[in-house]
Amino acid sequence: MSRIGNKPVPIIDGVEVSVADRVVKVKGPKGELEFAHRPEVAVAVDGEDNTVKVSRQTNERTSRELHGLTRAVINNMIFGVKEGYEKKLEVVGVGYIAAIQGKELQLRVGYANELKKIIPDGLSVTCPDQTHIVVQGCDKQMVGQFAAEVRSLRKPEPYKGKGIRYQDEQVKLKAGKSAT
């Protein structure tokens, strides 16, 4: 029994939710999102309580799995169009810099060539200074995916900690060969 799936999703003020043909549309001040849910679950908007309720048709394993997932995705969509999501990255290393030029994120992180990453539509990427990157958007999955792709261009290495990391990430440093 899904405890998360049974919990109704409250609709925040300023957010509109509509369901038609298995497509949930959420509209708010930060943007508009769509989600096509699977046929194993049913989504209904309750106008009296101002909530969204997710229910499953059967008690099979896939229905139970999708029940909580669908509810969580809709909750993230409602929060995203109202508040938005944000990931902060740090560029650590001597001579390592990040900059925005047009719709591209340019990174100099110790390779012979400058790395360029195209910023997808729906995301706002800024560099407050040369060593920090801020990724913002209303779609939680897209914000996290882009931040992970940027981090994967130069992961923090374990000896000096140089590379691209999340702002609150702790990198465990190894002692090196002179430790013995």
Q: Is it the case that residue 1 has pLDDT exceeding 60?
A: no
> What is the β-pairing status of strands 104-108 and 115-118?
antiparallel
pTM for this entry: 0.91
Residues of the chain with CATH 3.90.930.12: 3-82, 85-168
CATH number of 85-168: 3.90.930.12
The fourth-level CATH superfamily of domain 3-82 is: Ribosomal protein L6 (3.90.930.12)
Report the alpha-carbon distance of residue 56 to residue 65 in Å, rounded: 10
pLDDT per residue over 78-120, tens digit each? Answer: 999 999 999 999 999 999 999 999 999 999 999 999 999 999 9
Helix (H) or strand (E) run with residue 74 in it: helix 61-82
Give the chain's length.
180
pLDDT per residue over 40-85, tens digit each? Answer: 999 999 988 999 999 998 999 999 999 999 999 999 999 999 999 9
8-state DSSP, 123 = E
pLDDT per residue over 8-23, tens digit each? Answer: 999 999 999 999 999 9
